[in-house]
Structure 1
Amino acid sequence: MTEVSSLTGRLLVASPALADPNFDRAVVLLLDHDAEGTLGVVLNRPTPVDVGDVLAPWAALAGMPRVVFQGGPVSLDSALALAVVPGDHRGADDPGPLGWRRVHGAIGLVDLEAPPELLAAELGSLRIFAGYAGWRPGQLEEEVGEGAWYVVESEPGDVSAPAPERLWRAVLRRQRGELAMVATYPDDPSLN
């Protein structure tokens, strides 16, 4: 078996060629990518559900918009949370605050079983996701090879983008070369 180069912490940006409606113009942060498969959350799918309606103790820490995001089509009845630890200049070996697990750089998963007040002073804005996106071993690599996804670097601000509906274009626009031009791709190419 060939070794998998980890894409953990990177973004998958749906190409216009991706036909799956679950991922149309999706920006996915990869939380785990190894020989066992891949797990991530879609960063730009806000729902109308207020965080306070489902996880009231965490509502005050949630960033704007203060809604639950659909993290992907898998396990929509489960929740996970991401938060950035501002100014986190600790080494990769430092686990960070109790109740937070580093995914990449200053971005980490929050233990929703922990008391929110334990983390309140440490966290930047929090984002809650219902469900996640998952790929079996080798599946993501196949999809990237077929041109369904662009793999790009993430930035801490991607997790808490205040205008998630513009994240797809914003992430593409900051890329170099021809990839930045994809940001101008029309929502409905048949209208060109």
Structure 2
Amino acid sequence: MTQVAAGMLLVATPALNDPNFVDAVVLMLDVDDNGALGVVLNRPSGLPVAEVLDAWRDVVTEPEVLFQGGPVMTEGALAVALLRSADDNPVGFRAVTGQLGLIDLDTPVELLGDSLDSLRIFAGYAGWGADQLEGEIEEGSWYVVPAHAADVFREDPSDLWRDVMRRQPGDLAWHSTRPVDPDLN
């Protein structure tokens, strides 16, 4: 699968050596002719959300830390949320796919009520200009695979890369067994 769309995952291949993306799993949030934007799901920071966005401290999913969403605009934050119900459409929510979407962090938490099932906040994002991502996929830097909402909100994302690869059909699943350092194999 190589067609990228919002709600899909990019999974770094062993060929991708950029330290920002080694073994990264990226949730795509926006893809159009002008480029693409996503957040890295498996890079928790040690910074508690309460220290920078106190109003959201009781709403975020464990671990209650900011995640490093990518190398672009790291001083900004994006919030990805999962709604409890597909029928809900709270103020400040923009759907990405199904019940998964973005929350405007300027929205008062009280207006969201009990609409949110899960929420994760990312400092920065991963971004690509027009045709840049397609070129990286063609050169073999990324696998493009379907996402599960649970991928976004795992309490321990350290094995996310392997778990996502393991559930893929055919030869892609074999990649989940590669050693962290093939030179030590």
TM-score (norm 2): 0.95
Residue 31 of structure 2: SS of its match in structure 1? strand
CA 59–120 in structure 1, closer or farther in 2 if over 3 Å, else same: farther
Cα deviation 1:145-166 (Å, max 9, x = unaligned): 1110000011111110111111
Residue 182 of structure 1: SS of its match in structure 2? helix
Structure 1 residues 1-192: aligned runs within 5 Å: 7-88=5-86, 90=87, 96-192=89-185
* Structure 1 residue 86: Cα displacement: 2.5
Query: Partner amino acid for 1:110?
Result: I
Gaps of 5+ in 1: none
Partner Cα separation in structure 2 for residue 82 and residue 25 of structure 1: 21
Residue 124 of structure 1: SS of its match in structure 2? strand
Gaps of 5+ in 2: none
Which protein is richer in strand relative to its size? 2
Cα deviation 1:110-167 (Å, max 9, x = unaligned): 0100111211400012100000000010010011011100000111111101111111
Aligned length: 183
Partner Cα separation in structure 1 for residue 72 and residue 56 of structure 2: 23
Partner Cα separation in structure 1 for residue 77 and residue 44 of structure 2: 14
Cα deviation 1:41-91 (Å, max 9, x = unaligned): 001100000011110110111101110000000000001100101242x4x
Query: Partner amino acid for 2:135?
Result: E
Q: Work out the percentage of aligned pairs sharing the same amino acid.
A: 54
Query: Partner amino acid for 1:33?
Result: V
Alpha-carbon RMSD: 1.2
Partner Cα separation in structure 2 for residue 176 and residue 170 of structure 1: 13
1:81–1:109 contact (8 Å) kept in structure 2: yes
Partner Cα separation in structure 1 for residue 129 and residue 114 of structure 2: 37
Partner Cα separation in structure 2 for residue 6 and residue 182 of structure 1: 20
